[in-house]
Homo-oligomer: A and B are copies of this chain.
Amino acid sequence: MRVLGVDPGLTRCGLGVVDGRPGRASMVAVGVVRTPATADPGERLVYLEQELESWLTRFEPDVVAIERVFADVNVASVMTTAHATAIALLAAAKRGIPVHFHTPTEVKAAVTGTGRAEKAQIGSMVMRILALDAAPRPADAADALALAICHLWRGQAQGRLAALAAGARS
């Protein structure tokens, strides 16, 4: 399965494509879409949509995994993050690609074993899991890869549980 992880944002939107199968995850692509905070808000969304569509066309992910953002921090940044999330949702839905949301805590727990991990720890584990020479930078890029890994591994855990349940019934 191929997952496109999206760490939504307008100033920086992290994108990471990861291929995975049980016990394995490998990076296909990573990047960050940037739009200047001084640009027209609508133009920023148009540019982000174009970039997202280009990634969807090029990498053809089976699933898009987006970080679920809560409105408990800076109000203005939550709004632009929500706008970026909407553009990712729209672009995926137009192609019939399913979208799943994962919270920052779920992502941290999936790649580090603890939901309270710090940024550096996430980058470090993403580097190890994907066998990269260095931690991806900026943090948004590492977070997008972590999201994709989180989705692959949570899916696998759920698959194993389903298989166990099926085995118990047979």
A residues within 8 Å of B by Cβ? 40-43, 45-46, 49, 69-72, 75, 78-79, 82-87, 89-90, 92-94, 99
Q: Specify how many copies of this chain sit in the oligomer.
A: 2
Q: How far is the CA of A121 from the CA of B47 in the complex (A)?
A: 40
Best-surrounded residue of A46, A49, A86, A90 (most CB of chain B within 10 A):
A86
Q: State how many angstroms separate the Cβ of A148 from the closest Cβ of chain B.
A: 18
Other-chain contact of A40, B40, B42, B45, B93 (Cβ < 8 Å): B93
Q: Which residues of B contact A94 (CB under 8 A)?
A: 46
Q: State how many angstroms separate the Cβ of A81 from the closest Cβ of chain B.
A: 9
Q: Which residues of B contact A71 (CB under 8 A)?
A: 71, 75, 78-79
Q: Are A41 and B99 in contact (CB under 8 A)?
A: yes
What 10 A-B pairs have minimum CB-CB distances, sorted nearest first?
A: A42-B93, A82-B82, A83-B86, A86-B86, A71-B71, A42-B89, A45-B90, A71-B75, A46-B93, A79-B82
Best-surrounded residue of A69, A72, A79 (most CB of chain B within 10 A):
A79
